[in-house]
Amino acid sequence: MLELLKNYFGYDEFRPLQEEIINNVLLGNDSLVLMPTGGGKSLCYELPAMKLPGLTLVISPLIALMKDQVDGLKANGIAAEFINSSLSPKEIGRVEDLVRAGKIKILYLAPERLALINFQNFLKTLKISLIAVDEAHCISEWGHDFRPDYRNLIMLRRDWPKVSIIALTATATERVRRDIVEQLSLKNAKIFISSFNRPNLIYSVKPKKDAFYSLLQLLKKYKDRSAIIYCFSRKETENLAADLSEEGYRAFAYHAGLDNNLRRLNQEKFVRDEAQIIVATIAFGMGIDKPDVRLVIHYSLPKSIEGYYQETGRAGRDGLPSECVLFFSYGDIHKHGYFIDEIEDADECAKAKEKLNQVIKYSELKTCRREYLLRYFGENNIPAFPDAEREMATNENHDGKNNCRGCDNCLAPKEEFDATVVAQKILSAIIRTGERFGAKHLAGVLQGKAARRIIEFGHDRLSVFGIMAEYDDDEIKYFISLLITKGLLVKIGDEYPIIRLTEAGRKFLLERQKIVLTRPRKAELISEESEPFGSVEYEPELFIELRSLRKQLAQEAGVPPFVIFSDVSLEQMAYYLPQSPENFLRINGVGKEKLQRFGQAFMSVITSYAKNHNLAERPNFARIRRSGAVRSAGRLGSTYDETMQLLQAGLTIEQIALARNLAPGTVISHLENLKQAGKDLRLDHLKPLSERFDKIQAAFRESGGILLSPVREILGEEYSYNEIRLARLFL
């Protein structure tokens, strides 16, 4: 099996659980596989298909994905085809002839195809060795993405009682798992549950305030990298795509209301790197199997944690670090609430409300977001994150838990402050208004808004009216949610919840107790000058040349670029500089078929680059060390050690850059990461001249944040971004 793995897929070893699952399949047993997106689910049936004598059927609801998956298998030298509604009767006949002749090993099918009697009869003439049901959660009414067509799959066990079935999904609660086993009639199925942890993803939630500006900063950070943005409505997707296009981005909308041809065209542009950004509705599942998506943004609140996890799972499928950002506003909650109230079935309405409440809870978290997601899916053995144990030992924000180093609450814990007066004002307003209003009304009173309902109830004449005018709606609601978490307040009711004091809240006021809360994080913390998560120690210019070659070859072959090689493969090429077939074959994702088809073209570019830059092949084929938030804060890697040694020797930024053949901006990035990792740096000799430093410091104060662009605008072109970044290290 390892030989097949290397020859066809270019990998030297299995990922966690793959070997055990494949062994179970080869023994002829049924399997239920829960594995996160990007964890390697497909290989669990693709590799056995190469070993088993007959045909492997793969049932998938993602029609848009099938061609990409089949193209990928063909590029690896595996005979695969698909049959779905996108093919003409003549094309379907051609595929069926190939299948009858035994020339196909893997056949992808849409579930509705199994409802056709003629097609059922065709399948009965074939020798089927394995049946794989992808996105198996679609068969369960308890799942977040139930599809009635999946109920056709009940006939699989009836017609092929002795053929092993493997059901696969990335998102399934305990109830959904039981439903999958029951609906598919899996016999003594062995259940494999991989960790839901995606260590390469960085999760963060930002207030939806000046959201478009924050969005632009994020996109600048990931210039020329693929991004998916989820919005609430079709109109919002089209408007946002148009706004981004005006800013110079190749952005396209994608939703169920578009003409089928236009939707397919937009998706193909994205998959083939002809578009950088797809803006999609949260209500419409995208059939995107693009492994190099570096950024997934929820511009609107998702409907459920399952949906959110699946959508964020489209980032970093190749294992490289990627970011998942959710813009949170209480206004989005009301949008969802309006549509939930329209659901006539009481049980369905209650389920939808509960799912939305879980999303709100996630968005308001003050503790580790990764841990919340893992526990939601029933994963109680939370992985330890020892890199930051010492750092978190005294951090009350995390209730003593380890720091995952991969969410905003762990990477940048919020600032605490004495919130006694804030709490007193909020609690007093709740008492004065009779403890029968929700957070929105209370925020309006505290801000001093002359809203119709506030005036009708006479709350504009209360002493608490306008006493928190310096805070906006979301900030006051944020404090209210904190006070609920602290047990001073309680939310009562689901449809129109009201806020009341608890006994602890009354005691807090009566005894004039003190309280410490965290400040809401401001919308920004993004620097377009900073390196994106996932920077690795490869030759960046060579990487760009290799991407260009990949795109050219993909266009000639009529396939998406990632079918040729993944970003992981290109990064390793740009690091190890392989110039012989033997060494090129050792690159992750290079098998014999791809070596034969594409090896010479890529090695030619690598050899030319290495010669022009006087570089030799790197013989050490250990894993590439990665920088960024997913790596140990205490072990940033050898390149950081070299920078630190030169820094300690008293060299300037320019001298270090010259000695290491790096850009000065990269050296400054090293210093920023080293400082964030808690290293003791001797930086005094790098501090800008006193007069210039004072001006930079004043500009940061005036801008009210830590972004570079606003400070540069204040200072003018006389001050470079690098000088401002250096000054920021001292502030």
Reported confidence tier of residue 56, pLDDT bands at 50, 70, 90: very high
**The pLDDT of residue 340:** 85
Position 537 scores a pLDDT of 67
pLDDT, tens digit (0-9, with 9 covering 90-100), for 668-695? 878 877 776 667 788 888 999 999 999 9
Q: How far apart are CA 345 and CA 88, in angstroms?
A: 39
Lowest mean pLDDT among 345-349, 457-461, 603-607: 345-349
Residue 413: Cβ within 10 Å count: 19
What confidence score (pLDDT) does residue 460 get? Answer: 92
Does the pLDDT value for residue 429 go beyond 50? yes
SS3 call for 107? strand
Percent share of the chain, pLDDT over 70: 88
Q: How far is CA 416 from CA 514, 525, 550, in A?
A: 13, 17, 49
Tens of pLDDT, residues 693-717: 999 999 988 887 777 767 888 998 8
Q: Give the pLDDT band (50/70/90) at residue 283.
A: low
- Give residue 50's pLDDT: 93
416-518: in CATH 1.10.10.10: yes
CA-based radius of gyration for the chain? 28
pLDDT over 90 (residue 45): yes
Mean pLDDT for 469-486 is: 86
Which of the following CATH numbers is that of domain 540-612: 1.10.150.80, 1.10.3720.10, 3.40.50.2300, 1.10.287.3510?
1.10.150.80
Residue 412 has pLDDT above 80, yes or no: no
Task: Write out the two tokens for 447.
Answer: 């801000």
- Close Cβ partners of 108 (under 8 Å, ≥ 6 residues apart): 58, 60, 66, 69, 70, 80, 81, 82, 83, 84
Interval 397-409: pLDDT, tens: 444 455 787 898 8
- In this predicted model, what pLDDT tens digit does every residue of 58-73 receive, in sequence order? 998 877 778 888 988 9
Q: Kindly provide the b/e burial profile for residues 151-190, where b requires at least 16 CB atoms within 10 angstroms of the residue's own CB.
A: ebbeebbeebeebbbbbbbbbbbeebbebbbebbebeebb
543-570 pLDDT, tens digit each: 999 999 999 999 888 888 988 998 889 9
* More confident of the two residues 599 and 40: 599
Whole-number percent of the chain with pLDDT over 90 = 38
Q: Which residues contact 221 (CB under 8 A, 6 or more apart)?
A: 526, 527, 528, 530, 532
Is 448:469 a contact under the CB 8 Å cutoff? yes
Residue with tokens 């630190």: 644
Check for a shared fold between 201-377 and 540-612.
no
List the chain domain ranges.
2-193, 201-377, 416-518, 540-612, 639-728
Q: What is the pLDDT of residue 616?
A: 86
- Asked if residue 95 has pLDDT above 90, the reply is yes
pLDDT tops 80 at residue 662: no
Tell which CATH classification among 3.20.20.100, 3.20.20.70, 3.40.50.300, 3.40.640.10 matches the domain 2-193.
3.40.50.300
Say how far apart CA 324 and CA 296 lie, in whole Å: 5
For 382, the token pair is: 């939370």
What pTM, to 2 d.p., does this model score? 0.63
Q: Cα separation of 416 and 508, whole Å?
A: 19
482, pLDDT greater than 70: yes
Q: Does the pLDDT of residue 288 top 70, yes or no?
A: no
Q: How many C-beta atoms surround the C-beta of residue 600 within 10 A?
A: 11
**What are the tens digits of pLDDT across the range 313-324?**
889 988 888 999
- Section 134-150 average pLDDT: 78
Model confidence band, residue 637 (pLDDT cutoffs 50, 70, 90): very low
**What's residue 121's pLDDT?**
92
Mean predicted lDDT score pLDDT of the chain: 84
Residue (of 561, 590, 77) closest to 289 by Cα position: 561
Question: Between 635 and 538, whose confidence is greater?
Answer: 538
Residue 414 has pLDDT above 60, yes or no: yes
Distance in angstroms (rounded) separating the CA atoms of residues 385 and 396: 17
Residue 624's pLDDT is: 37
Give domain 201-377's CATH superfamily.
Answer: P-loop containing nucleotide triphosphate hydrolases (3.40.50.300)
- Read off the pLDDT of residues 496-536 as tens digits, 9 standing for 90 and up: 789 999 999 999 999 999 999 887 765 433 333 344 444 44
Mean pLDDT of 599-628: 74
Q: Contact 422/479 with Cβ under 8 angstroms?
A: yes
Instruction: State the average pLDDT over residues 366-385.
Output: 80
pLDDT band of 632, cuts 50, 70, 90: very low
- Does domain 639-728 sit in CATH 1.25.40.80? no
Phi-psi region at 224: left, alpha or beta (left = phi > 0; alpha = psi -120 to 50): left
pLDDT surpassing 90 at residue 228: yes
Residue 588 has what pLDDT?
85
Contact between 574 and 543 under an 8 Å Cβ cutoff? The reply is yes
Distance CA 630, CA 176 (A): 31
pLDDT of residue 513: 94
658 band by pLDDT with thresholds 50, 70 and 90: confident
pLDDT score recorded for residue 419: 92
Evaluate if residue 634 carries a pLDDT over 80.
Answer: no
Distance CA 321, CA 535 (A): 8
Residue with tokens 């029933």: 378
